[in-house]
Amino acid sequence: MARTDALQGSLDLLVLKILSRRPRLHGYAIMAAIANTSGEVLRAEEGSLYPALYRMEEAGWIRAEWIRKETGRRTRVYELTAAGKKQLGAEESRWQSVSLAINRVLREA
Amino acid sequence: MSWWSRISNAMQGERLNREIDEELQAHVEEAIASGRDPREAHRAFGPTLRAREASHSVRAAGWLESLLADLRFGWRQLGRNKVTSAAALLSLALGIGSCVGVFRLIDALLWRPLPISGSSRLYLLSRKITGLYGKPAEDNYWATPDFDLMRHAVRSQADLIAISDADRTDITWSTDDDMEKASVVYVSGSMFPLFGLQPSLGRLLTPADDRGPGASPYAVLSWDCWNHRFGRDPHVLGRSLHIGNQDFEIIGVGPRDFTGTEKGTATDLFLPLNTSSLAPHDSVTWHHTFLMLKPGVNPATALEPLRQHLAAVSHAFEAGCSTCVRGMTRAEIARYLDKKLVFHRAGAGISDLQKDYRRSLGILGLLAALVLLIACANVASMMTAQAAARAQEMALRVSIGAGRRRLVQLILCQSALLAVLASILGAFFAAWSAPFVLSRVNSPDNPVRLSLPADWRVLLFGFGLILLVVLLLGLLPALRASAVRPVAALKGGEDPHSPRRLMHGAIALQVAFCFLVLFLSSLFVASFRRLENRPLGFSTDRLLLLETVAGQGQLPVVWNQTAEGLRAVPGVESVAISGWPLLGRIRINSDISINGAPPGPTPAFYLNISPDWLSTMKIPLVSGRDFSPHDSSPGAAIVNETFVRTFFPGQDPIGHTFAPVGYPYQPGAHQPLDKIVGVIPDIPYHGLREPSRAVYYIPFNQIDDQSAPGVVGFATFTVHTDVQNPLALATTLRQFIAQRHNGLRVSNVTTQLDLVRDQTIRERLLAMLAAFFAAIALLIAGIGLYAVLSYGVLQRRREIGIRMAIGSPRAGIVRLVTLDVFLMIALGGSVGVALGFGASRYVESLFYQVKATDVDMIAFPTFALLLTALVATLPAVLRALRTDPTEILRAE
């Protein structure tokens, strides 16, 4: 499953990035956004998305709220907190340095 | 925030699961709504159960959830065995409550620092001396001139503070008529500033107030006195009050929580040291001296040089004090000056109450702790039995993968639940018992005031106690249960004796502690009974005592006329006068010179009495006669039998003379002689516990050198009434004396019976509480014994049935069931005897005419224990004997 392996360790980064652009998304929309923007290359495993969301919520990076949809059902939407913005910055720069390093290794080898 | 949400989620696990399910459900629906195939969407999502589990563990605190589950389980376990649980809970609650109650008393009286700043730097100056009858003693009292010299000598390294004992003094607050008792303390002006105390009103005393009697006639009220006597009236400042012939002006009110340095006594009034008439005298030692180190001084290095410096200064003062050593022989002076100055930590205050009750409270603490230990042993063996019954359950849990830590947690949870529930009950008991015990120490003449706050110190102690109890209760059963070997247990063949061994150990422990409690309490009860039933030699029946003062003193004839007047009051049968009551707080002794020889080493105590005092007190004469109205002092004396044995051994003392010599003795000086006219038996003079002392009685009518009558400043009317409760006449008689306007005023009313009772307050309290603890200990131990034996019989039903089937006699069955337990009782009992002897040596000073080695002191606890053991084992033995072998064998 190359697709999920590519996501290893970077799911947090992707979720935070998506939420920074478009606040108040529910879980499915986050997953769909990751798939769409990556051109269907990156796909979060649907079952493991929620534990990750809850972990980030407990860490205080995102916050959740129940809203009622037009259909009358409730859905839980997420948005970024101030701590989450900071975390996003840190994760982005970490990702940049890692991918830079990997690229360098690919070029040199 | 996130911790809180995890904890609250753990509390509401079901709701959390519903929420997670709802969100996961919404996800799949969203997927379907966006056009995906429902089956594919479900498959892509994976197993919802696993997603829910993973989500749940992220959002809820897992350790808390398992803890809650264990607590719920423990609660159900407790509910399943309602009777045993209630017994365990109650016994633990009594144990914990008693421990906390005693701790509150000990802490408040002995350990809690005074509410002052720098209490850890406060020391008391004392000196070791050779006391009366050659015994080593400590003298805490100092003369003010000596204090001034010492204070000056060390003022660069430390501050000295003088504080007198709180003295119940007659005070007139405004007009001449309303005289009241208030406790008065004389302090040096440095006390308030050094203690860092701030006034609630006005100002406090300062070093400038040390000037002298005329210069600073100022008084500071304690907050307590201001509150209860003046209702916190702010206009109290500037009001005057009178003590004797001195006037004082109230200048301020002390801080709220400061009641003086004497623990157990609430000071009402602080007066400047030098306003006391005792202050100017070189030879009068009357106040305590405290030393306060300067902040930042290391006591380890600073104290010893200070001690030597102070000792040298004080020694020089006393050696040079002519009035202190006047008339002493060279050897006597050497003995007088041979003292060693010592420091005692005084941060927790000092008081007689501490001295009197230190050991008693220690004993109460020991008894309470023993009761708690007995209760713990009891509950632990109960839990062992339960755990043994659950051995299969434990084995199952282990074999399906439960961590052993989880099992220990399960059992510790149950014991924690017990301990916490018991300590809640115990807290109520402690809240009630500590003030109750304190109120028992109280006597109207000597009120005890001690604040018993339930603050962090008590809470900390309580939490520590709970922790200890949890460990004592749960640790052993928990380790045992977790060490279970699943294979053996599930096969039903685990060593059946191992839980019983543990329980037998608990029995031995319980019996040992129980014996100790019983032994000590029988000693205390016997002491109290012997003290209470000790023959007094006088009657206390219907005797009212009017302690009366006459400001400047009045001639004996005025006192006699007042007594005559009292006799005419309806309800009064007879009236006599004595200098002070027997068994009161006053005792005065003097050296005795026979035939002009220098006095011997034994002093004699005295009391001045009017004619008929002996008959009013119903004291018989051994020989000779009572005083007549014509006798006066000096001139005639009545002595007790110890006096005769000491000073006139083997002689008929009637007609002999002796001379009480004023201290110091002057050889060759004319000493007025007293001629012995009568002899009476020994009667307790100052204390019920002290051995008989030589006492002589002199006539109330006193004459001076020129045969002119001397004035009497205070005396006690001993009134024999014809009413059952003599205090009913108190108000009438008090008013009667006041209305005569002859300068006499009643300052205190009491009964002779109360004075006798006050002598046994401590013994009564100890006996009562020790008996209480003994009863509890016996009860708990009995329940424990019963439970262990019943469990044993239940466990060995098969064995008993088989033995019966193959013809074992009934005696054999009884022996089988009880032998181990009685061996344990014997073992525990002998350990208890050894502990008892050890402990009793520590408290010997509290006993009265009993010894730990008295046969009946050992016999009673042994008998009580055996009786309890018999009663407790009987049901189990009967059940064993009623075992029906056929039924057992059929069940197999």
Same domain, B289 and B208: yes
Asked whether residue B279 falls in the same domain as residue B365, the answer is: no
Mean pLDDT of B590-601: 79
- B114-159 tens-digit pLDDT: 999 989 999 999 999 877 667 788 888 999 999 999 999 998 889 9
- Give the DSSP per-residue string, chain A: -HHHHHHTTTHHHHHHHHHHHS-SEEHHHHHHHHHHHTTTS----HHHHHHHHHHHHHHTSEEEEEEE-TTS-EEEEEEE-HHHHHHHHHHHHHHHHHHHHHHHHHHH-
Residue with the bigger pLDDT between B843 and B152: it is B152
B524 lies in the same domain as B562: no
d(CA B750, CA B753): 8
Q: Is residue B751 part of a domain?
A: no
Residue B404 domain flag: yes
The mean-pLDDT minimum among B141-150, B411-420, B562-571, B787-796 falls in B787-796
Instruction: pLDDT band for A8, please (50, 70, 90 cuts).
Output: low
The pLDDT-based confidence of A1 (bands split at 50, 70, 90) is very low
Same domain? For B297 and B178 the reply is yes
Round to whole Å and give the CA distance between A62 and A82.
8
Write down the pLDDT at residue B255. 93
B-chain residues near A65 (CB < 8 A): none
Do B305 and B441 belong together in one domain?
Answer: no
Q: Alpha-carbon torsion B110, B116, B117, B123, what sign?
A: negative
B178-230 pLDDT, tens digit each: 678 888 999 999 999 999 999 999 999 999 888 866 778 899 999 988 998 88
> Angle B106-B107-B113 (CA atoms, 0-180°, nearest 5)?
135
pLDDT recorded at residue B246: 85
User: Between A and B, how many CB-CB pairs are < 8 A?
Assistant: 61
Q: For residues B253 and A8, what is the distance between their CA atoms, to the nearest angstrom?
A: 75
Which chain B residues are closer than 8 Å to A29 by Cβ? 30
Of B2, B6, B51, the CB nearest to A60: B2
Residues 6+ apart with CB under 8 A from B250: B202, B218, B219, B220, B221, B236, B237, B238, B239, B240, B241
Q: Is the pLDDT of residue B585 over 50?
A: yes
Q: Which residue has the tokens 């009438």?
A: B732
Region of poorest pLDDT, from B156-165, B336-345, B484-493: B484-493
> Please, is B521 exposed, middle or buried when counting C-beta atoms within 10 Å of its C-beta (0-12, 13-18, 19+)?
buried
Alpha helices, DSSP H, located in B266-403: 299-319, 322-325, 330-337, 352-389, 391-399
Give the residue from B325, B347, B369 where a domain finishes: B347
Using alpha carbons, select from B523, B359, B433, B447 the residue that is nearest to residue B858: B523
Which of chain B's residues have a Cβ under 8 Å away from the Cβ of A27? 23, 26-27
The answer to whether residue B728 sits within a structural domain is no
**Closest-CA distance of chain B to residue A44, Å:** 10
Structure-token pair, residue B53: 């589990």
Per residue in B796-814, pLDDT tens? 888 888 888 888 888 888 8
Are A28 and B50 in contact (CB < 8 Å)? no
The pLDDT of residue B496 is above 60 = no
Residues B256 and B287 both lie in one domain: yes
Task: Report if residue B463 sits inside a domain.
Answer: yes
B669 — pLDDT class (breaks 50, 70, 90): low
B179-187 and B167-172 beta bridge pairing: antiparallel
CB < 8 Å to A58, chain B: 2, 5-6, 58-59
ipTM score above 0.85: no
Residues in A closer than 8 angstroms to B40, CB to CB, are: none
Where a domain ends, among B315, B347, B379? Answer: B347
Lowest mean pLDDT, pick from A74-83, B61-70, B494-503 = B494-503
Which positions ≥6 away from B869 have C-beta within 8 Å? Answer: B782, B785, B821, B822, B825
Indicate whether B727 belongs to any domain: no
Full residue range of the structural domain in which residue B25 is found: 2-60
pLDDT of residue B747: 84
Residue B2 has which token pair?
């996130």
Same domain, B341 and B453: no
- pLDDT tens track for A25-73: 888 888 888 888 888 777 777 777 888 888 888 888 888 888 887 777 8
**Mean pLDDT confidence for B358-384:** 87
In whole angstroms, how far apart are CA B614 and each of B164, B584, B878? 37, 17, 65
Q: Looking at residue B620, what is its pLDDT?
A: 92
CATH number belonging to domain A2-108: 1.10.10.10
Do B508 and B482 belong to one domain? Answer: no
Question: Within its chain, how far is the Cα of B845 from the centroid?
Answer: 15
Does residue B279 sit in the same domain as residue B130? yes
- B394 and B341 assigned to the same domain: no
**Count of the separate structural domains present in chain B:** 5
Q: Which of B6, B47, B54 sits opposite A58 (nearest CB)?
A: B6
CB contact under 8 A, A58 and B59: yes
Share of chain B above pLDDT 70, in %: 93
Of B2, B24, B48, the CB nearest to A59: B2
Nearest residue on chain A to B21, alpha-carbon basis: A50
Chain B residue whose CA is closest to A27: B27
Instruction: Label residues B689-718 b or e (16+ Cβ within 10 Å = b).
Output: beebbbbbbbbbbbbeeeeeeeebebbbbb
**Domain endpoint, select from B299, B325, B347:** B347
For the segment B632-651, the average pLDDT, to the nearest whole number, is 89
Categorize the per-residue pLDDT at B292 as very low, low, confident or very high, splitting at 50, 70 and 90: very high
| Angle of the B13-33 helix axis to the A46-59 helix axis, nearest 10 | 130
What integer pLDDT is reported at residue B29 of this predicted model?
A: 81
pLDDT score recorded for residue A2: 35
CA distances from B201 to A46, B238, B385, B586 (A): 74, 11, 65, 37
Are A76 and B59 an interchain contact pair (Cβ–Cβ within 8 Å)? Answer: no
The answer to whether residues B133 and B49 belong to one domain is: no
